[in-house]
Structure 1
């Protein structure tokens, strides 16, 4: 593993600098969608339980997808690293 990506937080920040749009979409987009669903249910008097359930699922999906992209980014950085001794 490379020294500069020894922590998930460091890898996430490096990925955010390399791919800012993709990182924002999956990290912030899904929770923003969840917030809109809950607030829409509150404002219209709709069923709050469905909005909250959808919000929990969207936030969970955001966490899983973000962790997947961080792992994929770390793997790409390791495999694209120059080989020593060749």
Structure 2
């Protein structure tokens, strides 16, 4: 069980080195947007229910998109390794 977690963590770090902008946007950009949305609701006396709901959705989307990008990166590594030399 821990080997799988270590492999996923290693794949995430390798993807972050290969594609730093994409990794930052999906992994840190959406949570930052969620934090800004909640703080905007607090400072501007907006409805906190909607801001919190949007923040939760943004966090869930961040997790899903990051996991998808890691899976896509791992698949690309495997297909590149199996492809004949060009």
Query: TM exceeds 0.5?
Result: yes
CA distance in 2, matches of 1:41, 1:58: 15
Q: Which has the higher helix share?
A: 2
Q: Stretches of 4+ moved more than 6 A in 1?
A: none
2:75 and 2:22 mapped to 1: Cα distance? Answer: 17
CA shift, 1:82, in A, is: 4.9
Please give the alpha-carbon distance, in whole angstroms, between the structure 2 residues aligned to 1:67 and 1:82: 23
Distance 1:22 1:79 in 2: 20
Aligned equivalents of 1:33, 1:55: Cα separation in 2: 8
TM-score by length of 1: 0.87
Q: Which runs of 5+ in 1 are unaligned?
A: 1-5
Tell me how far apart the structure 1 counterparts of residues 75 and 82 of structure 2 sit (CA, whole Å): 13
Q: What's the secondary structure of 1:12's corresponding residue?
A: helix
| Matched residue, 1:81 | 81
1:8 aligns with 2:8: yes
> How many correspondences in the alignment?
78
RMSD value, Cα: 1.2
Match of 2:37 in 1: 37
TM-score (norm 2): 0.87
